[in-house]
Amino acid sequence: MPFIKVRDDLCKGCKLCITFCPKQVIRMSDRLNPKGYYVAELFDKEGCTGCGICARMCPDVAISVYREDKKEVPA
Amino acid sequence: MKVVYERPESLLDVPFTYCPGCTHGIIHRMVADTLDDLGIRERTIGVSPVGCSVFAYEFFNCDMVAAAHGRAPAVATGIKRVHPDKIVFTYQGDGDLAAIGTAEIIHAAARGENITVIFANNVIYGMTGGQMAPTTLIGQKTDTTPYGRSVEANGHPIRVCELLSSLDGVAYLERVSTHDPKHVLKAQKAIKKAFQYQVDGKGFTLIELLSTCPSNWGMNPLDSLKWLEESMLPYYKPGVYKDIG
Amino acid sequence: MSNKVLMKGNEAIGEAAITAGCRHFFGYPITPQSELPAYLSKHMPKVGGVFLQAESEVAAINMVYGAAAAGARVLTSSSSPGISLKQEGISYLASSELPAVICNVMRAGPGLGTIQPAQADYFQAVKGGGHGDYHNIVLAPESVQEIIDHVRLGFDLSDKYLNPAMILLDGALGQMMEPVDFGDYKPELQEKPWAATGCKGRKMNAITSIHIDPRDMEAHNIKLQEKYSKIRESEQKCEEWMLEDAEIMVVAYGLCARICKSAIRVCREKGIKVGLFRLISLWPFPEKKLDKAIDKVKEVFVVELSAGQMIEDVKLVDNGRKPITFHGRMGGMTPSVEDISDRIELIHDRITQKVG
Ligand SMILES: Cc1ncc(C[n+]2csc(CCOP(=O)(O)OP(=O)(O)O)c2C)c(N)n1
Ligand code: SF4
């Protein structure tokens, strides 16, 4: 199953990933990072297709995308 | 399971200093992805401006030179004339490029300097707290146009791609947007093409990226993207303004 | 082997730069330095170098900034109003610790002024010029031969201390034709591991002048000041001419010092014990030798092509020990030899009590 990892130290909680996720599987967590931002998290691991749109739209380059196949994230 | 998309090598592992949701970060990533994809990181020299991206030299993992306000194209010219075989890019905001640095950008373009300009147009002065930029839209309220920009007082906003498109030294000019994934993908392609042109020695390339400034527009990141689409796109039409092919 | 050629001062700047290993020139046209860009536009391409006429002095100095950051020996030149425009860039060079040579073929100001010789940019050159606590290394040649030496020295010192160096002369010297000898000097080009050259095989280099945390900015300033102390300690340059037995010491620099030399010769023939203290480095100010020289004379006579700028530094060194008189012409006017010798005679008469 594809999934994403959000780096808590980089996320500023801007919610762009949440907005643009075609599967709507990302949400705000209740974790605060040291800078005082609530960070985003993947809540539905089954739903993530590893399309990478969230990562591309993340202004803080906080998201890594994991997938089995090598097919590239649209670049 | 493998990681198929992660932080590019061309970005250092430090957090950006940009406000939450500011699209400067999206643009940085696209530039870094391009340096990775083309395998040119180790022979690239970037020039950072004065503006919110003043710290770009702390973010990109390639040699970086910080220029004075507006002078990045002149600094890049100096670098490129010393190292014609290296890849040189500037990263500039709209105040930096289209107000104080107007002469430098026009003449670098006219000379056909073989450099790539990444131009983030957020129609405002971000770093200094939201004053009117040369690109500020008619009617747009800023710190120094509290009643909205008026033609009588402030004249018309400058469209950089249109302005530069008449210059023979220009190889490639495209305006793209960052307001949704589809446009970001297009932007990524344009940036890559611009750097490829430089690698091929084709001449001056500039990509104008319509960008947001949630903090000084007084909007949340999402509303900013919507405002960009609804208010900026009609005046700043995306498209290729020059391409020598 | 001596190999003399006749050359104009402005052209000598260009040839000296080429022999110093400089292959990049960026400038914007302005009188009275025009022979220099003309010379370099002809000769740079012959040695594989770059001559680029910029869109303004502002652009030129920032091209210099880029080329210096990229590790090159780089030259720019202008005249007073153009040098004013370059000041922000020079401040950036100083703060980013980038080497470059800047020639100011001074004209008379303020404003657009006139193209005749003046030394009214002394303050601008030696006190900083742009914003912030910094100094240029400033050299003031008095002859075309010395222009060559100073341009080479300027590049060497600039590289050694990673600091901008300025050559300060005037249009008369720039236009003057004199026999010169380029000798067989070989520049000592240094490794510049800090330069922006592409980061292959090493960590990325960043060249910047911003230090947003005031503690960092102060630390950076302290580092610069320590460097300036070192330069002050090691690089003061001057010429002491006929000072051995002198009672009157003329202090001057550049072309003005040459006029003073002629005047001193005239006075010496009349038996007046007068000599010249000629500043070669304006910054660092040659205070060590001047300090000693002041002790030995009865009066100091400062001559400048300005309302009196360098005299302030002389006064600081003198510190009230000996009387100082001043003669200055402005606006492009130069004193004649007689002007100066008459004044020296007056001083002489006064200190030997011939006049009450
Ligand atoms: C010579 C000079 N003038 C003015 C400034 C102040 N200043 C810093 S950033 C800036 C505007 C930057 O706006 P823009 O280029 O649009 O970039 P943004 O911050 O919006 O990304 C100004 C006016 C300066 N640093 N230097
Ligand atoms: S002030 Fe505006 S442009 Fe600057 S980082 Fe914040 S949102 Fe971005």
pLDDT tens profile C192-247? 999 999 999 999 999 999 999 999 999 999 999 999 999 999 999 999 999 999 99
- Ligand 2 nearest atom to the CA of residue B19, by list position: 6
B78 touches C: beta carbon within 8 Å: yes
Establish whether the linkage from the previous residue to C193 is cis, with ω within 30° of 0: no
pLDDT of B86 > 90? The answer is yes
Residues of chain B positioned with their CB less than 8 A from the CB of A26: none
pLDDT of C355 > 60? The answer is no
pLDDT value of residue C339:
97
Which domain, by its residues, includes B143? 24-243
Nearest to B70 by CA among B39, B91, B84: B91
pLDDT of C307 > 70? The answer is yes
pLDDT of C50 > 80? The answer is yes
C214-to-B58, B206, B229, C224 alpha-carbon distances in Å? 18, 35, 40, 15
Helix (H) or strand (E) holding B107: helix B102-111
pLDDT of C33 > 70? The answer is yes
Amino acid identity of residue C303, one-letter, is: V
Put simply, the answer to whether B103 touches C26 (Cβ < 8 Å) is: no
pLDDT value of residue B111:
98
| ipTM attached to this prediction | 0.98
Tokens (6 digits) for C100:
């470059």
Average pLDDT over residues C55-67: 98
Could you tell me if residue B129 is inside a domain?
yes
E strand spans, B49-168:
63-66, 87-93, 116-121
Tokens (6 digits) for C220:
């950076």
What pTM was computed for the model?
0.97
Q: Do chains A and B touch (3 or more CB pairs under 8 A)?
A: yes
* Residue of B2, B6, B19, B28 best to disrupt the A interface, most CBs of A under 10 A: B6
Tokens (6 digits) for C16:
């000296």
Average pLDDT over residues C115-120: 97
Separation CA C24–CA C60 (nearest Å): 11
Could you tell me if residue B201 is inside a domain?
yes
Q: Which domains does chain C show, CATH number per domain? A: 5-234 (3.40.50.970), 239-355 (3.40.50.920)
CA torsion B185-B187-B193-B194 (nearest 10°) is -160
DSSP result, C266-283:
HHHHTT--EEEEEESEEE
Q: Confidence class of residue B208 from pLDDT cuts 50, 70 and 90? A: very high
Separation of CA B26 from chain center: 11
Could you tell me if residue B14 is inside a domain?
no
At B100-156, the pLDDT tens digits run 999 999 999 999 999 999 999 999 999 999 999 999 999 999 999 999 999 999 999
B186-to-B165, B173, B176 alpha-carbon distances in Å? 20, 13, 7
pLDDT value of residue C188:
82
B19 lines ligand 2 (CB under 6 A): yes
pLDDT value of residue A73:
61
Nearest to B177 by CA among B220, B236, B137, B117: B236
Nearest to B242 by CA among B185, B171, B192: B171
Sign of CA dihedral B185, B186, B187, B188: positive
Residue C193: closest C-alpha in chain B: B63
DSSP result, C196-235:
-S--TTSPPPEE-----SHHHHHHHHHHHHHHHHHHHHH-
pLDDT value of residue C271:
97
End-to-end CA gap in chain B = 40
Q: Do chains B and C touch (3 or more CB pairs under 8 A)?
A: yes
Q: Which domains does chain A show, CATH number per domain? A: 3-73 (3.30.70.20)
Nearest to B78 by CA among C70, C205, C98: C70
Could you tell me if residue B182 is inside a domain?
yes
Higher local confidence (pLDDT), B57 or C185: B57
Separation CA C108–CA C170 (nearest Å): 9
CATH code, domain with B54: 3.40.50.970
Residues of chain B positioned with their CB less than 8 A from the CB of C200: 42-43
- Residue B191, phi-psi category: left (phi > 0), alpha (psi -120 to 50), beta (remainder): alpha
List strands edge to edge, sheet with B87-93. Answer: B239-243, B170-177, B204-210, B116-121, B87-93, B44-48, B63-66, C206-207
Could you tell me if residue B160 is inside a domain?
yes
pLDDT of C2 > 80? The answer is no
Question: What DSSP state is assigned to residue B228?
Answer: I
Residues 203-222 (B) with a CB less than 8 A from some CB of A: 221-222
Nearest to B49 by CA among B14, B1, B100, B114: B100
Å from CA of C226 to ligand 2 middle: 37
High-pLDDT (> 90) share of chain C, %: 96
Q: Which residue has the tokens 């400048």?
A: C304
Put simply, the answer to whether C206 touches B104 (Cβ < 8 Å) is: no
φ, ψ (nearest 5 deg) of residue C177: -105, 125
Mean pLDDT of chain B: 98
DSSP result, C39-88:
HHHHHTGGGT-EEEE-SSHHHHHHHHHHHHHTT--EEEEE-HHHHHHTHH
Could you tell me if residue B158 is inside a domain?
yes
Separation CA B5–CA B2 (nearest Å): 9
Chains that touch B (3 or more CB pairs under 8 A): A, C
Amino acid identity of residue C271, one-letter, is: G
Q: Residue A58, SS3?
A: coil
pLDDT value of residue C1:
53
* Residue of C204, C205, C216, C220 best to disrupt the B interface, most CBs of B under 10 A: C204
Residues 156-195 (B) with a CB less than 8 A from some CB of A: 180-181, 184-185, 188
Average pLDDT over residues C89-115: 97
Average pLDDT over residues A18-40: 97
Tokens (6 digits) for B220:
């949340």
Average pLDDT over residues B238-244: 98
- In chain B, the number of structural domains is 1
- Ligand 2 nearest atom to the CA of residue B18, by list position: 5
Average pLDDT over residues C83-97: 98
Could you tell me if residue B4 is inside a domain?
no
- Ligand 2 nearest atom to the CA of residue B23, by list position: 8
Q: Confidence class of residue A1 from pLDDT cuts 50, 70 and 90? A: confident
Separation CA B110–CA C61 (nearest Å): 19
Could you tell me if residue B99 is inside a domain?
yes
Nearest to C74 by CA among C130, C39, C27, C126: C27
